[in-house]
Amino acid sequence: MPIIASYAAQSATTPLAPFDISRREPGPHDVEIDILYCGVCHSDIHQVRNEWGGSAFPMVPGHEIVGRVTRTGSHVTKFKPGDLAGIGCFVDSCRTCVNCRDGEEQYCDGGVAWTYNSKERGTDIPTFGGYSTLIVADENYILHVADTLSLPGVAPLLCAGITTYSPLRHWNVGKGSKVGVVGLGGLGHMGVKFAAAFGADVTVLSTSKSKEADARKLGAHDFLVTSDEEEMKKRKSHFDFILNTVSAKHDYGQYLQLLKLNGTMTLVGIPPDAIPLKANPLISRRRSLSGSMIGGIRETQEMLDYCAEHNIVSDVEVIPMQMINEAYDRMLRSDVRYRFVIDLASLKV
Q: How far apart are the C-alpha atoms of 21 and 110, rounded to whole Å?
A: 27
Q: Which residue is nearest to ligand NAP (CB)?
A: 185
184 binds, among ligand NAP, Zn ion, none (CB under 5 to 8 A by kind): ligand NAP
User: Nearest approach, Cβ of 129 to ligand NAP (angstroms)?
Assistant: 13
Return the number of the residue (28 or 110) whose C-beta is nearest Zn ion. 110
In the complex with Zn ion, the residue whose CB is nearer, 91 or 159, is: 159
- Residues 160-199 as x/- pattern, contact with ligand NAP by CB under 6 A: x--x-------------------xxxxxx-----------
Least separation in angstroms between residue 179's CB and ligand NAP is 15
Buried b (16+ CB within 10 A) or exposed e, 281-290: bbeebebebe
Indicate the helix (H) or strand (E) that contains 107. none
Which strand (E) or helix (H) includes residue 67?
strand 65-72
269: partner contacted, choices ligand NAP, Zn ion, none (Cβ within 5-8 A by kind): ligand NAP
The C-alpha angle with vertex 169 and arms to 165 and 171, in degrees rounded to 5, equals 125
Distance of closest approach, residue 52 Cβ to ligand NAP, in angstroms: 8
Per the CB < 8 A criterion, the answer to whether 318 and 165 are in contact is no
**Shortest Å, Cβ 83 to ligand NAP:** 26
Residues that bind Zn ion (CB under 5 A): 41, 43, 93-94, 97, 100, 108, 110, 159
DSSP string for residues in 161-213: HHHHHHHHHHTT--TT-EEEEE--SHHHHHHHHHHHHTT-EEEEEES-GGGHH
Closest approach of ligand NAP to the CB of residue 210, in Å: 8
Question: Which of Zn ion, ligand NAP, none does residue 330 bind (CB under 5 to 8 Å by kind)?
Answer: none
202 touching ligand NAP, by CB under 6 A: no
Q: Is 282 in the site for ligand NAP (CB under 6 A)?
A: no
Rounded Cα gap, residues 346 and 340, in angstroms? 14
Q: Which residues contact 202 (CB under 8 A, 6 or more apart)?
A: 179, 180, 181, 192, 195, 196, 219, 220, 221, 222
Angstrom distances, CA of residue 1 to CA of 8, 20, 120, 126, 155: 19, 12, 17, 16, 27
Minimum separation from the CB atom of position 288 to ligand NAP (A)? 17
Of 206, 257, 301, 314, the residue at the interface with ligand NAP (CB under 6 A) is 206
Q: Does 346 bind ligand NAP (CB under 6 A)?
A: no
325 binds, among Zn ion, ligand NAP, none (CB under 5 to 8 A by kind): none
Total number of residues that touch ligand NAP (CB under 6 A) = 31
**Residue 207 near which of Zn ion, ligand NAP, none (CB within 5-8 Å, type-dependent):** ligand NAP
In sequence order, which ranges of the chain are alpha helices (DSSP H)?
42-48, 98-101, 151-154, 160-170, 186-197, 212-218, 229-234, 252-256, 280-283, 297-310, 324-332
Residues that bind ligand NAP (CB under 6 A): 41-43, 46, 159-160, 163, 183-188, 206-208, 211, 245-248, 250, 268-270, 292-294, 331, 334, 336
